[in-house]
Amino acid sequence: MTAAAERKRPVVAVLYREALPPRLSEIEELAEVRLTKADGLADALDGADVLYQWHSFSPALRENWDAASSLRWVHVSAAGVSQLLFDELIRSNVVYTNSRGVLSRAIAEFALGFVLDTAKDAQVSFRLQQQQRWQHRVTRKVQGQRALVVGTGSIGREIARLFRAVGMEISGAGRTSRAGDDDFERIHSSQDLAGIVHDYDYLVLAAPLTSETKGLVNAEVLAAMKPSAHLVNVGRGELVHTDALAEALASGSITGAALDVVHPEPLPAGHALWSMENVIITPHMSGDTEDHIDDLGLLFLDNLTRYRAGEPLQNVVDKELGFVAAS
């Protein structure tokens, strides 16, 4: 990019729903900013170079694609973006970036919390406390437990590092099988889950939702798990066949599940999973810490600075795959 082009302030359409993004004054120092909600996106896109999709999961870009003739770059304040991609965008020259990595540590901490909760029987302790009952029990050590982490991107690797720090043995599952990885003892092909899950105490889901991973954990995979095993899902609800999971939990085919994501979301009132004592459900909140909003804003600000300078952007999504491919 020439010096003249660098000095030209790009036009950034900012799509929001209610709250505006953080660091807005700093963004305005670098660009001409057009704030818009979904119903005004077509006008905001007219002549815009950049779309900052702060309203992470809005379908408004797809609905207003004809107005995006000058668009060069889209940034989304979310990591999982497969549901936002569409044929015209995929075929275009528009660069697409996401917020991969910003929430990885927080999600990994949440996954570790789920493991500790289940190993130390915390849910039962809470119920006994509510009943004012002093009932001594024994619990399981986390050290030496084996976990298979499905998804070997930034979230899966943070999970592996934290789990290993408490003495767990960690393998991964990704698109291809391979050995000799810095974070995992080995990486299996995620398509082989039914043949390998019997070796693990925890099956932890941290994969993006793609055509290959949708419904990955089905009745066959659940039936192949150890009866003492737990499923932990901090990825996407649609990675799992919900009905098959409910049946496996009810029958004792697996011991328990800890779910930050489910399908559908929110889980309907009266669904069997709500009342199961061997299930922990949280409302898709594993990445949402007190400072995560500002962290998301900082990532876009850094990328906008790079864009103006003609430097490579962070977190460029392979639009065919639906996620940021490993370098």
Query: What backbone torsions phi and psi does residue 140 show, to the nearest 5 degrees?
Result: -95, 145
pLDDT at 2 over 50: no
What's the pTM? 0.89
152 pLDDT more than 60: yes
Structure tokens at 122: 């915390």
Please tell me whether residues 114 and 63 are part of one structural domain. Answer: no
Reported as a pLDDT band with limits 50, 70 and 90, residue 217 is: very high
DSSP structure string for 246-285: HHHHHHTSSSEEEES--SSSSPPTT-GGGG-TTEEE--S-
Quick check: is 318 in a domain?
Answer: no
Collapsing DSSP to helix, strand or coil, 189 comes out as strand
Instruction: Kindly report the CATH number assigned to the domain that includes residue 236.
Output: 3.40.50.720
Under 8 Å between Cβ of 139 and 121: yes
170-207 tens-digit pLDDT = 999 999 999 878 999 999 999 999 999 999 999 999 99
d(CA 322, CA 233): 19
pLDDT of 326 over the 80 cut:
no
Residues 81, 132 share a domain:
no
Whole-number pLDDT of residue 66: 97
pLDDT tens column, 221-244: 999 999 999 999 999 999 999 999
Residues in CB range of 180: below 8 A, 6 or more apart:
186
CA angle, residues 311, 316, 318, in degrees to nearest 5? 140
Peptide bond into 264 cis (omega under 30): yes
Is residue 198 annotated as part of the catalytic site, yes or no?
no
Our count of domains for the chain comes to 2
Please check whether residues 256 and 190 belong to one and the same domain.
yes
Residue appearing with tokens 């993006």: 208
Has residue 296 been placed in a domain?
yes
Domain that holds residue 33: 3-102+292-309
- Residue 264 inside a domain? The answer is yes
- Residue 5: per-residue pLDDT: 45
Catalytic residue among 164, 178, 284, 292: 284
How far is it, in rounded angstroms, from Cα 109 to Cα 75?
26
To the query of whether residue 188 is one of the catalytic residues in this protein, the response is no
Q: What percent of the chain has pLDDT over 70?
A: 97
Give yes or no: residues 33 and 112 share one domain.
Answer: no
Catalytic residue among 34, 75, 188, 236: 236
Q: Is 317 inside any structural domain? A: no
Does residue 23 register a pLDDT over 60? yes
Mean pLDDT of the 264-292 span:
96
Q: Is the pLDDT reported for residue 1 higher than 80?
A: no
Active site residue 284: yes
Query: What's the pLDDT score for residue 180?
Result: 72
Same domain flag for 262 and 173:
yes
CA 241 to chain centre: 18
